[in-house]
């Protein structure tokens, strides 16, 4: 088989890069062994504001423009609903936080995203005496549905090999990447935490962070917005809500934990007063980086080998953006932003 690209990994990063290839009529094949679950357990929020500090997400406008276009195209081609427009409400803990919100809303990068209307809390099931601030241009991508539909489409076209990628079988020269019976011009590794097993890129300073979410059934809560206050609450259908998320830098398994659930429920009980029942719990290891920027770039020796990783907690926003940057670097010779280029760690 002769293709332009081999892609290893089909989470948010891998799908985003495949879409770049599709839109530019490049051929490819994908390897994925389903071992990495960070994308499938992601909350899927896109939100241009860092709500802990009331600051703008890096390159937020550019990220949103590219990401929302990609998800709209996927919805049409795969015949699935992925993008759920929903406001994000930030609970205020004090009058001082309200004042900080108003001050932030005057900043150029935030003015179009922070509503200057304080929303009063009229829901008896929520403990929020100081009300909420509303973030605009927000929503949720159904990442699990996207990955399942995308893999089904790849399988239909014989473009997905659901198996371990054995690095020992990789043969590289200046012009060709060979793997078993596949010859390609380039290979892109989009493996998430799996990069730790990759002999070509395992030196990169990925900081894995396990995250856990719980799903609750709360028929008396009745909210139609995402609520952020210590934890985030994301409404689904049938009075179900996602509650997340934890951060654990020691336990790097995909196994759910009682301690993770307890941590989330303690925070949740400070936020809502109605009864609820936990109906599910999921866990995955996020690929984060110490400087909170993705790992994108070219291998120092093998010039037809690349990495696309480290999307962290905002993968649905930043994934399509950095995939676009990597494609243009490979095919059009456009220099990568220094902030995402793996060369920043060369020393």
Q: Quick one: pLDDT at residue 347?
A: 60
Mean pLDDT, range 296-305, rounded to an integer: 96
Q: How many residues does the chain have?
A: 347
The whole-chain average pLDDT of the chain stands at 94
CA distance 270 to 125: 11
Q: Quick one: pLDDT at residue 37?
A: 66
Task: Tell me which DSSP letter residue 286 carries.
Answer: E
The answer on pLDDT for 171 being more than 70 is yes
Name, in order, each residue with C-beta under 8 angstroms of 45's C-beta and a sequence gap of 6 or more: 88, 138, 139, 140, 226, 232, 234, 316
CA distance 272 to 281: 19
CATH class label, 208-286: alpha beta
Which phi and psi angles does 65 have, rounded to 5°?
-60, -45
Q: Do domains 2-43+144-205+291-345 and 208-286 have the same CATH topology?
A: no
The answer on pLDDT for 175 being more than 70 is yes
Could you read off the pLDDT of 184-228 as tens digits, one per residue? Answer: 999 999 999 889 999 999 999 998 889 999 999 999 999 999 999
CA distance 238 to 236: 7
CA distance 264 to 65: 32
Could you read off the pLDDT of 103-153 as tens digits, one per residue? Answer: 999 999 999 999 999 999 999 999 999 999 999 999 999 999 999 999 999
CA distance 287 to 147: 17
Assigned fold of 2-43+144-205+291-345:
FAD/NAD(P)-binding domain (3.50.50)
Mean pLDDT, range 302-311, rounded to an integer: 96
**48 falls in which pLDDT band (50, 70, 90)?**
very high
Give the distance, in angstroms, between the CA of residue 19 and the centroid of all CA atoms in the same chain: 16
Whole-structure pTM value: 0.93
Q: Quick one: pLDDT at residue 39?
A: 66
Q: Quick one: pLDDT at residue 252?
A: 87
CA distance 196 to 30: 19
Could you read off the pLDDT of 6-20 as tens digits, one per residue? Answer: 999 999 999 999 999
Could you read off the pLDDT of 62-115 as tens digits, one per residue? Answer: 999 999 999 999 999 999 999 999 999 999 999 999 999 999 999 999 999 999
Of 214, 211, 213, 189, nearest in space to 202 by CA: 189
So where are the chain's domains? 2-43+144-205+291-345, 87-137, 208-286
Of 169-173, 174-178, 343-347, the one with minimum mean pLDDT is 343-347
**34 falls in which pLDDT band (50, 70, 90)?**
confident
Backbone CA torsion sign across 322, 326, 332, 336 = positive
Of 68, 75, 15, 5, nearest in space to 39 by CA: 15
Of 38-47, 248-257, 303-312, the one with minimum mean pLDDT is 38-47
């Amino acid at each position: 088989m002769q293709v332009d690209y081999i892609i290893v990994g089909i989470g948010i990063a891998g799908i985003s890069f495949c879409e770049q290839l599709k839109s530019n009529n490049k051929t490819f094949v994908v390897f994925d062994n389903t071992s990495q679950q960070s994308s499938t357990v992601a909350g899927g929020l896109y939100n241009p504001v860092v709500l802990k500090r009331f600051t703008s997400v890096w390159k937020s406008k550019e990220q949103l423009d590219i990401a929302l276009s990609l998800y709209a195209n996927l919805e049409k081609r795969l015949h699935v609903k992925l993008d759920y427009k929903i406001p994000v409400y930030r609970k205020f803990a004090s009058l001082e936080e309200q004042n900080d919100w108003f001050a932030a809303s005057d900043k150029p990068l935030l003015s179009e995203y922070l509503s200057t209307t304080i929303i009063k809390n009229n829901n008896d099931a929520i403990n929020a005496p100081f009300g909420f601030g509303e973030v605009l241009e927000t929503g949720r991508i159904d990442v699990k549905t996207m990955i399942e539909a995308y893999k089904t489409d790849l399988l239909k076209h014989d473009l997905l090999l659901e198996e371990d990628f054995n690095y020992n079988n990789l043969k590289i020269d200046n012009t060709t990447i060979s793997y078993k019976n596949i010859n390609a011009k380039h290979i892109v590794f989009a493996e998430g935490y799996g990069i730790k097993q990759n002999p070509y890129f395992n030196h990169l300073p990925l900081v894995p962070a396990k995250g856990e979410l719980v799903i609750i059934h709360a028929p008396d809560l009745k909210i139609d917005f995402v609520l952020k206050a210590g934890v985030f609450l994301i409404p689904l259908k049938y009075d179900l809500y996602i509650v997340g998320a934890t951060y654990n830098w020691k336990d790097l398994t995909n196994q759910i934990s009682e301690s993770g659930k307890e941590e989330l429920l303690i925070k949740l009980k400070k936020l809502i007063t109605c009864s609820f029942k936990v109906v599910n719990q999921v866990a995955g290891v996020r690929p984060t980086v110490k400087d909170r920027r993705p790992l994108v770039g070219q291998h120092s020796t093998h010039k037809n080998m690349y990495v696309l990783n480290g999307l962290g907690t905002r993968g649905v926003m930043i994934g399509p953006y950095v995939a676009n940057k990597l494609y243009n670097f490979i095919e059009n010779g456009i220099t990568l932003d220094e902030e995402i280029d793996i060369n920043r760690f060369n020393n």
